[in-house]
Amino acid sequence: MYMLEVADLWKRYGAVQALSGVSLTLEGGEIRALLGPNGAGKSTTVKIVMGLVKPDRGSVRIMGEDALSPKGYRLRRHVGYMPELPQLPRWARVGEVLEKYAGLYGIPEAEIPSAVSRALETVGLSDLRGRAVATLSKGQVQRLTLAQAIMHEPDILVLDEPLLGLDPEGMDLVRRIIRDEARRGAAVLMNTHLLKEAEDLSDNVTLLYRGRVLFSGSVDELKQHVSVGEVLIVEVEGEAEAAIEVLRDIPFVESVERVTRTRLRVKLLPGEDRSSEVSRALVAAGLGIRELKRLEPSLEEAFLKLVRGGEQWAG
């Protein structure tokens, strides 16, 4: 049984078709990044999952049960939600905010103080329990919003841009919390535009474009799917001019970029590993090689190539 199962979601806002058959699944312990450019349908998908928007068609199942039924709201106690734009009462104190959420989540009254303390310690806000929300920095509000999302140890954690507005220390803390929640067994759905974070944190990605799923699978599978081509770092002995001339004459070399006086970044056309052929060509030209190594394609390269391909990849 999937913790979360979204199947064939369709949603139209007036003349705009926001979603066209979006499906995804989440297992316990999995971190899935929901990616896509602005207007791709990420926020609409999350809002439907959270019961904030009603789809025109499709289904959402939480813990195997219909979350779109009239009683589906009860299932959302299994879910922790961190919205992109927190809407916390500015007049309330930090501890009071979490106490209110604890009641909404159904945490027994006797356990609320310890649940609040645990959540504040987890996000590093224990010493701000008595402070008013209005006095917090943007990053502190972000941490408090995460605290309310995890305080009831949810089975599913939905995070909308969880690293937005955080300093490096805060980002490191939130990354650690996300990994810890997955290790605890929670299924994590993370909506983010930070591709490096998605690559580092997620087990799988779902890429949306104009309301459609272009790809769903692991980061490595995405890179292989679009075949972004091989990139080599080549360092030669002496000046690189002669090496540049040799490399540019090789038919399968797409581009050569000078990194330093002796170091080059060489991009090859998509195909099988040809690094040995590059090495042989340089040696045959009488050039010494200090280093030649392959660079793994980044998620950003794969993402951009897939999106630029547009709907030819859909379906």
Domain ranges of the chain: 4-216, 229-296
pLDDT tens column, 27-86: 999 999 998 888 889 999 999 999 999 999 999 999 999 999 988 888 988 999 999 888
Threshold 0.75, pTM exceeds: yes
- Taking alpha carbons only, the member of 26, 23, 29 closest to residue 41 is 23
Name the band, by pLDDT with cuts 50, 70 and 90, for residue 297: low
Q: Which helix (H) or strand (E) holds 211?
A: none
For residue 239, pLDDT over 80 is answered with: no
Do 197 and 175 form a contact (C-beta atoms < 8 A)?
Answer: yes
Reduced to 3 states (helix: H, G, I; strand: E, B; else coil), residue 192 is coil
CATH number corresponding to 4-216: 3.40.50.300
Question: How confident is the model at residue 315, as a pLDDT?
Answer: 40
| Yes or no: domain 229-296 corresponds to CATH 3.60.150.10 | no
Q: What is the dihedral of CA 140, 144, 145, 150, to 10 degrees?
A: 140
Output DSSP code: residue 126: G
For residue 262, report the phi and psi dihedrals to the nearest 5 degrees.
-120, 0
Rounded mean pLDDT of the chain? 88
Do 198 and 162 form a contact (C-beta atoms < 8 A)?
Answer: no
| Range name among 55-64, 108-117, 208-217, 300-309 with the lowest pLDDT average | 300-309
CA dist 285 and 234 (Å) reads 15
